[in-house]
Chains A and B, each alone.
Chain A
């Protein structure tokens, strides 16, 4: 195999893959919504730069995560074709790329936008890499609960980019993503359990079993639902957001309840879990989209 003998000369597409472009989509979207929901309008060029920095920061976090976890990735069917475990890239190149991209994104944010946004971006990158990837992921089934904070920063950064400040609404958006992460990832972990077990990652279904995981999905959905409608209940948004959030959260809760009270059968295709996982992604898009529409048009 040619690629195995030439690990140093990675293709540019391999560097792109290192940034986890699909994960970046949600990060960019929530960051953009945080910026658009702010009461201050930012100059379009600076707004574009802020979103670019959020995307680059997320890409850097993804690259450093793949650098550190290449051994785990090699053992999982979902990730074994990534550039590092597949031998298409030198580990040092991935590390340099990740550190370089992280530094560049924070410096550019600080220079072009403001220091508050740059500081939060730096914290989010460090949190994802050091707290989640290095410290928690291999040690505790609470990895994605605490680590979920890393993915919750973008709306806060977007808001700070526009205003140079932090307010209650972006904190609620942060809390929403933070509380959404456990049901989202545990739904995935339920149907990818074998993969995580093979890689030795202590995800909740692997360590505590499926019953506990299903109960936890149901329990985390409750505060998530409260936070989802809180912007409307606290008078920070209007009725259109409130109605959309209530409806979308009801659907989420219905899917979560189905997963919570379900028992896996032999030859189970795990459809309810896959449905909850898929809908949970759409759910964030719906809520953040509704928030921006409400702030701009209501």
Chain B
């Protein structure tokens, strides 16, 4: 793998990791909101 290719792979990995982190954060917030909504509805 050339240095240029290695840099490209690293950039893509970082991009995927950032998006994954954002999605996981959003999922935690969503689960919290769902739990609150269900508690309020008396489920």
Contacts and interface: CB of A to CB of B under 8 A. Distances in A.
Interface of A: 2, 5-6, 9-12, 15, 43-46, 49, 52, 111-112
A49 B5 contact: no
Place the interface of chain B in its size category.
10 to 19
B24 interface: no
B41 interface: yes
Given A43-B37, A46-B34, A46-B37, A6 B15 contact: no
A52 B19 CA distance: 17
Contact of A9 (B12, B19, B30, B41): B12
Contacts of A45: 30, 33-34, 36-37
A49 B40 CA distance: 16
A52 B26 CA distance: 12
A43 B41 contact: yes
Contacts of A12: 12, 15-16, 19
6 contacts: A9-B12, A11-B15, A12-B19, A43-B37, A45-B30, A112-B34
Given A9-B8, A43-B37, 5 more contacts: A2-B5, A11-B15, A43-B40, A46-B37, A49-B34
Contacts of B33: 45
Nearest to B30: A49
* 6 nearest CB pairs, A to B: A45-B37, A12-B19, A43-B37, A45-B33, A9-B9, A112-B34
A11 B5 contact: no
A5 B34 contact: no
A45 B30 CA distance: 8
A2 B34 contact: no
A50 to B, nearest CB: 11
Nearest to B18: A12
Interface string B13-36: 101100100000000001001101
Nearest to A14: B12
A11 B12 contact: yes
A2 B9 CA distance: 10
Contacts of B37: 43-46
Nearest to A16: B19
Contacts of A9: 8-9, 12-13
A86 to B, nearest CB: 15
Nearest to B20: A12
A124 to B, nearest CB: 22
A2 B4 contact: yes
Contacts of B16: 10-12, 15
A6 B5 contact: yes
B41 A10 contact: no
A60 to B, nearest CB: 15
Nearest to A52: B30
Contacts of A10: 12, 16
Nearest to A13: B15
Nearest to A112: B34
A175 to B, nearest CB: 32
